[in-house]
Structure 1
Amino acid sequence: MIFEALPTTPRSEELIDKAFSRAARTGRAKSGVEAQQSMLQTAGNILSDNLENVVTEWPDFGVVDPFYRELADAVLRREMGTRTADDGTEQTGVDALRASLSEVTWASRQVEEIQREYNAKLRKTDAETARKHRKQAFARMADVVEEIEADLLRVGEARDALRDLPDIRPDEPTIVVAGYPNVGKSSFVNAVTRADNEIARYPFTTRGIQIGHFERDHIRYQIIDTPGLLDRPEAERNDIESQAASALAHLADAVLFVVDASEACGYPLDAQLDLRNAVAERFDAPVLTVCNKSDRSRDVEADAYMSVSEGENVDAVLDLAVETVDWESDLPSR
């Protein structure tokens, strides 16, 4: 997953202490102007390189798959609130994170500029003046790093918020399973996928998102049940949950909407179909209506009928989903 390997973001105080303590050790090995030059170079390199690394370790949100970008935006909006820019405008989500990363880049370049400025000064002076110049450079570098303390904190908080998102692969054909609770979604996913299904943390649901996998014709499919998102009407979701549901729309190649015509799930059939229609409006992918518990009732017009509990027609429903996805393999034909 693209956010999983993000490193810990240093605090400004931690970074300054690291740079200056190593510079001091470097300076003790030399004397005179050369010692001050060595200290300046060591501190400047550590600060600028570490700040640059904070930024380059993050993926470019301009090219991140739309699913993960929108999901990340929803997570950050929920977890981190707003950032006030220099012009007074408020930024949220990915926009706020990108602004903080931009400030860290600015700080890295400022440190480099200070280093170049004082390197030139140190070449033209005596040891005592060189020491004063080096101390001035350190003070200015520290001011720059301290100025972006809030941005470093935001980047670190963003890393903590995003690193445990579920490992969903946008490059794999994906079937999203939707429908009201207790209609048999999880039972279907368990029935058609491998035994190592993942129950992953998902920041918008009271239960874990269920991710299963299966293979057809050497193609690996992922099938996803998202309790807490696509199992209730839009009006019952808050703005962040609604955005997370929109993120899934970027991911799905087909949606299986499971209904229970017997209404044993506890929800009237009309309400289930209204939710089905709302899901169909949100998703560009084809939405298949699947009537589960067909041994109890088939009193609904559906694309397929099955009974997971009785093992009836389950594989046929999966076949229909694969046919609907119509995924073209990258493998050369024989």
Structure 2
Amino acid sequence: MIFENLPTTPTSEELIDKAFSRAARAGRAKGGVEAQQSMLQTAANITSDNLANVVTAWPDFEYEGEVHPFYYELADAILAGEGEANADGVDDLRQSLSEVMWASRKAREIHGEYQSKLRKTDVDTARKHRKQAFARLADIVEQVEEDLLAINEARNALRDLPEIDPEEPTIVVAGYPNVGKSSFVNGVTNARGETASYPFTTTGIGVGHLERDHVRYQLVDTPGLLDRPAEERNEIESQAASAVEHVADCVLVLVDPSEACGYPLADQLELRDAIEARFEDAPVLTICNKADRSRAVEADRYMSVETGEGVEEVLEAAVAAIDYEPELPSR
């Protein structure tokens, strides 16, 4: 997953302490003006390199293809929800990353400016210039203190997202709560070991896999996103639901005509219609679950997860609807 291996971002205090303690050790290995030069170079290099590493650890949100639209929209939704009121999600993160890169370049400039002053001077003057440079380096790092904190908060919010491969053929399972979505996904895949929570859902997102004709298919159960009408979702949930559109190759909308789920069939079908309208680029199949109790609905397929009746036929219908043809390696 694109955000999984992001390193912890140092605080400004941690970075300053690291740079100056390493510089002190470098200075002890030499004497006179050379010691001051070595201290300055070490402190500036550590400051600049560590700040640059904070930025380069992140994918480039501006470069097309570096971040899939699914993960871009998901990150934007999560970061807007994690931030303060009127937070701009990815735009705020990009601004913080830009500020930190500015600080990295500024540290290089300070090094160049003061290193030239240390070349032809006495030890006392060299020490004075080195201390001035250290003060400016510390000031630069402190100026981006809030940005470093914001970047680390973003890292913490994004690194544990469930892994969904945007390039893998994907079946999205939707419908009201208690219609059997999770039981279906868990029953046909290994999703029990692949469930994790998004910051804006109350239950885990189920992600499982199955193989058909040597092709791996991804099944995604999205409670909190596609299990109620759009008007009942908040802005963040709506944007996260929008992100799912970028990965869905087929949508299975499960309905429970027995209404044992607790929702009237009319409401379930209204949600189905809204999902059909939203997922214009993916086939949407209506699946009657709990068919052992009732079949009183017009559906593309009928099944009972509880008894196993029709489950395989539903999977075959989804695979056929996707009609995925893997790319063969060129000779």
Q: TM-score range by the shorter chain?
A: over 0.9
How far the C-alpha of 1:68 sits from its partner, in A, is: 0.7
Aligned to 1:80: 83
Residue correspondence of structure 1 range 27-42 to structure 2 within 5 A = 27-42=27-42
Q: Deviations over 1:75-121 (max 9, x none)?
A: 11111225xxxxxxx75200000000000000000000010111111
Residue 108 (str. 1) matches residue 104 (str. 2): yes
Distance in 1 (CA, whole Å) between partners of 2:183 and 2:14 is 50
Residue 328 (str. 1) matches residue 325 (str. 2): yes
How far the C-alpha of 1:64 sits from its partner, in A, is: 0.2
Tell me if structure 2 keeps the 8 A contact 1:71–1:243.
Answer: yes
How far the C-alpha of 1:156 sits from its partner, in A, is: 0.8
- 4+ runs of 1 displaced by more than 3 Å? 194-197, 331-334
Tell me if structure 2 keeps the 8 A contact 1:80–1:157.
Answer: no
Tell me if structure 1 keeps the 8 A contact 2:169–2:322.
Answer: yes
Q: Deviations over 1:254-289 (max 9, x none)?
A: 100011112221111110011011112222311111
Aligned to 1:300: 297
Tell me if structure 2 keeps the 8 A contact 1:48–1:109.
Answer: yes
**Greater alpha carbon shift after TM alignment, 292-301 vs 55-64:** 292-301
Distance in 1 (CA, whole Å) between partners of 2:108 and 2:33 is 20
Tell me if structure 2 keeps the 8 A contact 1:254–1:325.
Answer: yes
TM-score by length of 1: 0.94
**Greater alpha carbon shift after TM alignment, 190-199 vs 171-180:** 190-199
Aligned to 2:23: 23
Instruction: For residue 207 of structure 2, give the secondary structure of its aligned residue in structure 1.
Output: strand
Q: Say which of 217, 224, 229 aligns to 2:220.
A: 224
Tell me if structure 2 keeps the 8 A contact 1:190–1:197.
Answer: no
Residue 215 (str. 1) matches residue 218 (str. 2): no
Distance in 2 (CA, whole Å) between partners of 1:11 and 1:310 is 55
Aligned to 1:86: none
Residue 193 of structure 1 aligns to which amino acid in structure 2? T
Aligned to 1:137: 133
Distance in 1 (CA, whole Å) between partners of 2:290 and 2:29 is 79
How far the C-alpha of 1:150 sits from its partner, in A, is: 0.5
How far the C-alpha of 1:331 sits from its partner, in A, is: 3.5
Q: Deviations over 1:290-321 (max 9, x none)?
A: 11122222222211111222211110110000
Tell me if structure 2 keeps the 8 A contact 1:292–1:307.
Answer: yes
Residues 31, 94 of structure 1: CA spacing in aligned structure 2 closer, same or farther, 3 A cutoff? same
Residue 314 of structure 1 aligns to which amino acid in structure 2? V
Distance in 1 (CA, whole Å) between partners of 2:223 and 2:288 is 18
Q: Say which of 202, 205, 209 aligns to 1:206.
A: 202
How far the C-alpha of 1:34 sits from its partner, in A, is: 0.6
Distance in 2 (CA, whole Å) between partners of 1:194 and 1:96 is 37
Instruction: For residue 177 of structure 1, give the secondary structure of its aligned residue in structure 2.
Output: strand
Residue 247 of structure 2 aligns to which amino acid in structure 1? L
Tell me the percent identity.
72
Aligned to 1:87: none
Q: Say which of 55, 62, 71 aligns to 1:68.
A: 71
Residue correspondence of structure 1 range 225-240 to structure 2 within 5 A = 225-240=221-236
Instruction: For residue 133 of structure 1, give the secondary structure of its aligned residue in structure 2.
Output: helix
How far the C-alpha of 1:70 sits from its partner, in A, is: 0.6
Distance in 2 (CA, whole Å) between partners of 1:175 and 1:309 is 20
TM-score by length of 2: 0.95
Residue 316 (str. 1) matches residue 319 (str. 2): no
Instruction: For residue 92 of structure 1, give the secondary structure of its aligned residue in structure 2.
Output: coil
Instruction: For residue 250 of structure 1, give the secondary structure of its aligned residue in structure 2.
Output: coil
Tell me if structure 1 keeps the 8 A contact 2:6–2:159.
Answer: yes
Distance in 1 (CA, whole Å) between partners of 2:271 and 2:330 is 41
Residues 241, 21 of structure 1: CA spacing in aligned structure 2 closer, same or farther, 3 A cutoff? same
Q: Deviations over 1:215-265 (max 9, x none)?
A: 112111110111121111111111111111111111111100011112221
Matched residue count? 327
Q: Deviations over 1:152-184 (max 9, x none)?
A: 010011111111111111111110000011111
Tell me if structure 2 keeps the 8 A contact 1:197–1:213.
Answer: no
Q: Which runs of 5+ in 2 are unaligned?
A: none
Aligned to 2:46: 46
Distance in 1 (CA, whole Å) between partners of 2:213 and 2:330 is 11
Distance in 2 (CA, whole Å) between partners of 1:203 and 1:215 is 30
Distance in 2 (CA, whole Å) between partners of 1:323 and 1:111 is 58
Q: Which runs of 5+ in 1 are unaligned?
A: 83-89
Residues 216, 20 of structure 1: CA spacing in aligned structure 2 closer, same or farther, 3 A cutoff? same
How far the C-alpha of 1:197 sits from its partner, in A, is: 4.2
Distance in 2 (CA, whole Å) between partners of 1:23 and 1:191 is 59
Q: Say which of 187, 194, 217 aligns to 2:183.
A: 187
Residues 12, 177 of structure 1: CA spacing in aligned structure 2 closer, same or farther, 3 A cutoff? same
